[in-house]
Amino acid sequence: MKEALDSYAADKRWSLGLRKFIMSLVDLKLAVAQSGAWKSSVLAKVGGANIKVMRMDGTPYPDESHDYPEGLLVVDGQLNLTVGSDAITVRAGEIFVVPVGVAHAVAPGSTGTLVIFDA
């Protein structure tokens, strides 16, 4: 994972009083530019959760469900989801949380940058 992060993340050493720690600064635009459509890249892990980014290119993505909840944050563009018989539009700046075990699919026309939080 470290190798994947090197291309678009820079580790910075910070100090706060006597305590030193490392933080990563991630360039989302660069990470998305280097990824293929609908291929997520893990940017970091926080508290056991993955933070991923992917590029949406307008094509649909089939039904899937997970044994963990999934947070879908649209950074720019729009995500068109189908959850059961419901059509849900998630716009830039909005997050949709898919509960454990709920099937969801991406409908045509979803474009932009998507950040995913999952286990």
Give the number of other CB atoms < 10 A from CB of residue 36. 10
The domain spanning residue 111 has which CATH number? 2.60.120.10
Tell me the DSSP string of 40-56. Answer: -EEEEEETTEEEEEEEE
Cβ 104 vs Cβ 63: under 8 Å? yes
pTM summary value: 0.81
Q: What SS3 class is residue 81? A: strand
The structural domain count of the chain equals 1
pLDDT tens profile 76-119: 999 999 999 999 999 999 999 999 999 999 999 999 999 999 99
User: How many CA atoms are closer than 13 Å to the CA of 77, on its beta-carbon side?
Assistant: 19
Structural domain that includes position 29:
2-118
Helix (H) or strand (E) holding 32: helix 28-33
